[in-house]
Chain A
Amino acid sequence: MLVPWIRAVAAAGGQAGRPDVIRSGAMTDQDAAADIPEVEPDYRFTLANERTYLAWIRTALALIAGGIALKAVAGAFNVQWLATTVGVAATVLGGVLPLTALRHWRAVQKAMRRGEPLPVQRAAIVLTTGIVVLSGVLALAVLL
């Protein structure tokens, strides 16, 4: 919250940081964030961000493929409904990941243009948790 404001103050040549302006509430954090000039970053960073996004898409495709495969071979399991559930859950996870990856790609691009710290990728936590849980349930379906 503070970093955009500092940048806005610097961009305004210190005028926006006048105590009377701040106390009167004439400049909010949102105003300051809107004033930050966006500069296109080095193309290497832009393309690296794009490749990371594509890696997420491929991860999602792998999850969807796993879901299709599990639904196809669910009949081989003793507990058929458990295997089907894992397959459906994997596909749902694969359907949600691209949207979160898109959101993150945009956020990173915006942060790089503004020179701000890069946002944390929360989808990684969701993905890891989801895969661990699904693997556990699938192992259970194999053992039962």
Chain B
Amino acid sequence: MSIGTPPESQSDRTRLSWRRTVNGMLAVGGIGALRMLSQGHILEAALASIVTVICIAPMYRRQIVLRGSYAPAAWEPAMVAVCTSVLAATVVLTP
């Protein structure tokens, strides 16, 4: 163990937290889009897929940023929140 290394791994824990959220988003967005597609709602399925991809992009970016620094998140949480809400709205509005 080198002297001066912090005895914790906050960055790794946060990165893993983002990764779990990506997995959840992929699962929910994917299942939602598949269900819409199976019911013949192609437009809604496409919208759910696009929103999922848009949501996942900043999540991956944040994971990359956290590899080398402890910089606080800037716009990524807002993007994720809006995309998740839009995904929920798409699910609700699909008959």
Residues of A near any B CB (own CB < 8 A): 40, 43-44, 46-48, 50-51, 53-55, 57-58, 60-62, 64-65, 67-68, 71-72, 88, 91-92, 94-96, 98-99, 101-102, 105, 109
Contact = CB atoms under 8 A, between A and B. Distances in A.
A105 B77 contact: yes
B68 to A, nearest CB: 13
B31 A57 contact: no
A61 B28 contact: yes
A44 B8 contact: yes
Given A47-B11, A50-B72, A95 B92 contact: yes
5 contacts: A50-B17, A50-B73, A50-B77, A58-B24, A64-B28
Nearest to B25: A61
Contact of B91 (A43, A44, A47, A91): A91
B89 interface: yes
B84 A60 contact: yes
Given A95-B88, A98-B81, A68 B72 contact: no
Interface of B: 8, 10-11, 13-14, 17-18, 20-21, 24-25, 27-28, 31-32, 35, 70, 72-73, 77-78, 80-82, 84-85, 87-89, 91-92
A75 B6 CA distance: 55
